[in-house]
Chain A
Amino acid sequence: MLRYLITLLISLVLFTCSTIPTPKVQVIKFDTLELLMTRDSEKVEVINFWATWCKPCIKELPYFQELHNLRSYHVNVTLVSLDYVDVLHEKVIPFVEMRQLTPQVMLLDEIDYNSWIDKVEPSWSGAIPATLIINHKTGERRFLERELKTGELTQIIDEITT
């Protein structure tokens, strides 16, 4: 009887675990972002800095979703949220779930902005939306501190890969 119970318990635990989705948003420090920017990869790195409170950022998220859907064979899209880590469960995760965002979403928990903004890009004033595009193979980078226009993202990726 006890054996049955244990088996039941174990299978219940396993079942529950398998239905828990992988974390939707990974909380990171700057070193993780730095790894993304400097890693050795065949794929073009597209890193978008956004936040749930930033209207122009939200407006352009579909471009990144579409890029991820159509070109993930040669482009790696990461959405880096600059929301405060305090609102991770209350705002960021529900937002990502509601929008059904499938690119990797990370929340950069680094409040001392002046210590890392220049390491991303010296010309960045700190305003968002901002997007960094890197071709790791050639070392070519593009940084856009503004809203993107329709088609602009794929155009830049084509420019940087040819």
Chain B
Amino acid sequence: MVYISTILVILSVLFSAGLKVGDQAVDFELKNIDGQMMSLASNEQAKGYILVFTCNTCPYSVAYEDRIIQLHEEYAPKGYPVVAVQPNNVQRSPGDSFDKMKQRAKEKGFSFPYLIDETQEVTRAYGATNTPHVYVLNREAGDRFVIEYIGAIDNNSRNAADADQHYVQDALDGLIEGKGVQTTKTKAIGCTIKWAS
């Protein structure tokens, strides 16, 4: 299984510029801050995931931390937990090291996994470009997850109360209510991912 996911990751890195809405999500094996490895298949109860590429050091990621926590609190009980992935190379961004990730998660009381993508293969496979960058995944059958939404959390990074478009919430509500997702892709200003040089 691990081999298959590795092959899938390598294939998608080679043949595409990242995953698109409608594509099957690539599973992975990444280390959580508790030291355990995690994959999409490891949570059998999940109906899907809110996969967030985010980090400690980007001001936009920090601005969205509380909203990411709220998304998890609201949607994990409905079957869609948050899985956060730190995509930056830690040599280029020392503030995003594994120890700093643990520290930040403790300070903010993250109740969701915060994984490190040391080789950046998963980040590349998904085609994440900036932080925070959200992928909403929905389980179709077995361990097959499909990407239903890619983009920003809402349309006001500065102030949650001023946002009048809640893209991720709307996508999740659409999935939960069986109405489908209206807005499937959005863009936002964010920090570029720090790739290994």
Footprint of B on A, CB under 8 Å? 53-54, 56, 82, 84, 86, 111-115, 117-118, 124-129, 145-146
Give chain B interface residues in 143-181, CB to chain A under 8 Å. 151-152, 155-158, 162, 165
Give A117 to B187 CA distance when docked, in angstroms: 7
Q: Give the CA-CA distance A124 to B192 in the complex, in Å.
A: 11
Nearest chain A residue, comparing its CB with the CB of B130: A127
Instruction: Enumerate chain A residues within 8 angstroms of B129, measured Cβ to Cβ.
Output: 125-127, 145
Decide yes or no: A129 and B192 within 8 Å by CB, A111-B157, A113-B155, A124-B187 being known contacts. yes
**B162: A residues at CB distance < 8 A:** 111
Residue in B162, B186, B189, B190 with the greatest tally of chain A CB atoms within 10 Å:
B189
| B contact residues, total (Cβ < 8 Å) | 19
Query: Inside 8 A of B130's CB, which chain A residues have their CB?
Result: 125-127
| 8 Å CB contact of B152 from A53, A84, A113, A146 | A113
Query: Can you name 28 A-B pairs with beta carbons within 8 Å?
Result: A54-B192, A82-B189, A84-B158, A111-B158, A112-B155, A112-B165, A113-B152, A113-B155, A113-B157, A113-B188, A113-B189, A114-B151, A114-B152, A114-B155, A114-B186, A117-B187, A117-B188, A126-B130, A126-B189, A126-B190, A127-B189, A127-B190, A127-B192, A127-B193, A128-B191, A129-B192, A145-B129, A146-B192
Question: How far, in whole Å, are A114 and B152 apart by their CA atoms in the complex?
Answer: 9
Most chain B beta carbons < 10 A, residue from A84, A111, A125, A145: A125
A146 to nearest B CB, angstroms?
Answer: 7
Instruction: Count chain A CB atoms within 10 A of each CB in B130, B158, B162, B188 and give the residue with the most.
Output: B188
**Interface on B for A, CB 8 Å cutoff?**
59, 129-130, 151-152, 155-158, 162, 165, 186-193
For B191, the chain A residues whose CB sits under 8 A away are 54, 127-128
CB distance from B149 to the nearest CB of A (A): 13
Contact of B187 among A56, A82, A126, A128 (CB under 8 A): A126
A111 B192 Cβ-Cβ under 8 A: no
Question: Chain A residue with minimal CB distance to B62?
Answer: A53
Q: Is the CB of A111 within 8 A of B187?
A: no
When C-beta atoms are compared, the residue in chain B nearest to A53 turns out to be: B59
Interchain nearest-CB distance for A18 vs B (Å): 36
- The chain A residue with its CB closest to the CB of B133 is A125
Contact between B192 and A118, CB atoms less than 8 A apart: no
